[in-house]
Chains A and B, each alone.
Chain A
Amino acid sequence: MPISDQTRSEAAEVIARYPQKRSALLPLLHLVQSDEGFVSPDGIAFCAEVLDLTKAEVGAVATFYTMYKRKPSGTYSVGVCTNTLCAVMGGDAILAELEAHTGLHHGETSDDGVVELEHIECNAACDYAPVVMVNWEFFDNQTPESAKQIVDDLREGKDVVPTRGAAKVCTLKEVSRVLAGFTDGRAKEGVAAGPASLVGLKLAQQRGDTA
């Protein structure tokens, strides 16, 4: 698939942020993913062309990082944290239920192209375990039932709302633009902090504790 004109002009903007242009490679890979939904051979060739690298050099980087999709994948990546704490708190059970519910295993996408199921590593929300991420938005304190509801809603075309994040989960292409450094104007949406983030602060306020 050819790289869009918009991506070509935005690539120059990304490169201009850095003192040395190779530093733009990770954001550019996010950018081509926002264009095509994955990092295609065309996307790799484009990054190589604009950064004066070989395709092998770009490919070596693209394959190192797990967020870059190497084949067309779902509009929504549903990732269940199965690192130790989340796994013990129910992440393993959630993943097993989602696998049974969708017939998908790690890295597989539903036939309708909507949902890719993944197990993911610790996503820095352990005080909200077990955690599910949908396109890298937080769904805190999940259960097998709540996780199945997310998947069903996504496949029925309904908006799903993260616990701490934007007003709705955006598509993988949309999110990849943010990762490439282009704002989507959604920073003002959602909460400042979830309840677990505020446990210590609320207690300090009740006790009159200050620094």
Chain B
Amino acid sequence: MKLTPVLSAHWDEHESWTIDAYSRHDGYAAVDKAFAMGPDAVITAVKDSGLRGRGGAGFPTGTKWSFIPQDNPKPKYLVVNADESEPGTCKDVPLMMANPHVLVEGVIIASYAIRAHKAFIYCRGEVVHVLRRLQAAVAEAYAAGHLGTDIHGSGYDLDVVVHAGAGAYICGEETALLDSLEGRRGQPRLRPPFPAVAGLYASPTVVNNVESIASVPAIINRGVEWFSSFGTEKSKGWTLYSLSGHVKNPGQFEAPLGITLRELLDLAGGMREGSELKFWTPGGSSTPILTAEHLDVPLDYEGVGAAGSMLGTKALQCFDQTTCVVRAVLRWTEFYQHESCGKCTPCREGTYWMVRILARLEAGHGTDEDIDTLLDTCDNIFGRSFCALGDGAVSPIQSGIKYFQDEFLAHRTHGGCPFDATASTAWAAPSSRAVNA
């Protein structure tokens, strides 16, 4: 399958983040096209393109926009979720660093479509240079007349605010993000009402991922049919796949939906020398791990779902035979414990106890019941909390035990971790890898 750089097509150009660089490639031309189409036609086009949310859930973007009740007299808001924090996920940050203007242009078109006059880009705080590039891009867009009042003489007004978070994974959850943007602790809300009906300030609000919004200008510029000619039947278009871990050339690969990990690994030069793929996440740590038997699974929403996982954020973290599954699962569980907002009891208490059990198992002090207790705890967390953090927290544990139960047991018989942690480091000599093979 061929690569399809669109969002990433000009990242290698001189000062690609500037409005001058963006203007060399039809920058802000899609805004005029959208204005000529009218807001309803823009929503229809995005619906027809088949674009689905690139932040993990895969909800159709145009459909989300169409849920905004236009008879509601309150102001409408667009909020861009730029709180990229899902472990393994590293696509929006390089996108905003190298080409923030494609996001700003997408924000204008999306806001126009839903009739919003105020939009927020909520970017995680821990990436200060990304915030600088976003701030500069918004300032340049105002100066060039792409933002502000009477944009391009259309009579349409839009203000955009770049808002920095302050360190909380949970704010990537859309309703927690809205609470955070309202100046509160980032805790998810009960739905319904959904943000489309009562979102920011209880007003109709669309929350979209960075990559989803950044995909819109190309769809408007080059057409619905062009976009939907890429991808698979129900997962249209191209997207950013992020390869990381024990691969020879990790990085960003923009390709049509439905490419396989086998194809992507070929493009990335394969696993590093002496390495074999042991397990991988298709879309961040909240998506159940898969193994080498899943190398030919089409990486689209349906394909990965059928394999028992989720496409998620397309964050392909690849681990080789030197990696201890128990260590990996424990570390992810510690993350979920740390990031649980504490609102819902099953998630708050469950993640705490699962960390204790996993730590005991990893140290070789597990009991006969520990694996059953873990799986039972997972059952009591999954589907029993306000948001998906709890659901995500059980993914590594359930899938880790499903594919590698023997390894959990081996820690007991071995009296601790049977792996040499130094062999998995980036600087380990290839000869050290045979030890665990």
Contacts and interface: CB of A to CB of B under 8 A. Distances in A.
Interface of A: 17-20, 22-27, 29-30, 51, 60-61, 64-68, 82-85, 87-90, 92-93, 120-130, 133, 135-138, 141, 143, 162, 164-166, 175, 178-181, 183-184, 186-188, 190, 192-204, 207, 209-211
A22 to B, nearest CB: 4
B183 A85 contact: no
Contact of A209 (B2, B11, B230): B2
B2, B94, B255, B339 — most chain A CB neighbours (10 Å):
B94
A25 B182 CA distance: 8
B129 A166 contact: yes
B185 to A, nearest CB: 4
Given A87-B331, A192-B17, A186 B126 contact: no
A175 B332 CA distance: 29
B3 to A, nearest CB: 4
A61 B128 contact: no
Nearest to B12: A198
Contact of A187 (B14, B132, B183): B132
Contacts of A128: 90, 250
A89 B421 CA distance: 9
Given A65-B166, A193-B98, A165 B118 contact: no
B426 interface: yes
A197 B252 contact: yes
A192 B317 contact: no
Interface stretch (B79-87, B303-311, B348-356, B382-390): B79-87
Interface in B277-333: 285, 315, 317, 319, 323, 327-328, 331-332
A162 B129 contact: yes
Nearest to A186: B132
A18 B253 CA distance: 37
B129 A199 contact: no
A20 B203 CA distance: 12
Contact of A84 (B12, B87, B422): B87
B125 interface: yes
B131 interface: yes
B245 A89 contact: yes
A195 B161 CA distance: 30
Contacts of A84: 87, 285, 317, 328, 331-332, 335
B426 A89 contact: yes
A130 B324 CA distance: 17
Instruction: Please give me the 7 A-B residue pairs with the lowest Cβ-Cβ distance, nearest first.
Output: A199-B251, A25-B183, A200-B253, A65-B166, A187-B136, A66-B167, A196-B251
A84 B131 CA distance: 26
A158 B183 CA distance: 37
A67 B317 CA distance: 26
